[in-house]
Structure 1
Amino acid sequence: MKRNYWPLFFIGIFSFVFSMIIWTVSKAIKAPVIEDRSFLLKYQDVDENYNKLMEANEEFLSKYNLSFILNDKDFGLTTEDIKYGQRVIEKYSNHKDTLKIGNNTLKVVATSKDSNEKQDINIDLVITKTMTNDNDVVLKQDKFENVNNDFISEFEISQETNWNITGSFKVNDSIGYIFIKTNAR
Structure 2
Amino acid sequence: MKKRNYWPLLFIGIFSFTFAMIVWTIVSAVNTPVHEDKSFLSSYHNVDGDYNDIVFSNEKFSKKYNIKTKINEKVFDGLLISDVFLSQRVIGDKSSHKDIFKKGSNRITFEISDKNGLKIDNVDINFKVTRSTNSYSDIDISNVENKTNTFVFDLEKEGNWNITGTIEISDGEKGYFYIKSNAINK
Q: Would the TM-score normalized by the shorter structure come out above 0.5?
A: yes
Secondary structure of 1:39's aligned partner: helix
- Is this contact kept in 2: 1:109–1:119, CA < 8 A? no
1:163 aligns with 2:138: no
- Is this contact kept in 2: 1:108–1:152, CA < 8 A? yes
How far off its partner does 1:54 sit?
Answer: 0.5
Identity %: 40
- 1:1-185 pair list within 5 angstroms: 1-76=2-77, 77-114=79-116, 116-142=118-144, 145-146=146-147, 150-172=148-170, 173-185=172-184
Aligned-partner Cα distance in 1 for 2:177–2:6: 65
AA matched with 1:94:
S
Q: Residues 102-139 of structure 1, C-alpha deviation per residue, up to 9 Å, x if partnerless?
A: 00111112111146233321011001011101011111
Aligned-partner Cα distance in 2 for 1:145–1:122: 9
Unpaired runs of 5+ in structure 2? none
Secondary structure of 1:169's aligned partner: strand
Secondary structure of 1:145's aligned partner: coil
Unpaired runs of 5+ in structure 1? none
Q: Tell me the matched-pair count.
A: 181
Aligned-partner Cα distance in 2 for 1:93–1:114: 30
TM superposition score normalised by structure 1: 0.93
- What's the RMSD between the two structures over aligned residues? 1.3
- Is this contact kept in 2: 1:110–1:120, CA < 8 A? no
- Is this contact kept in 2: 1:95–1:181, CA < 8 A? yes
TM superposition score normalised by structure 2: 0.92
AA matched with 2:175:
G
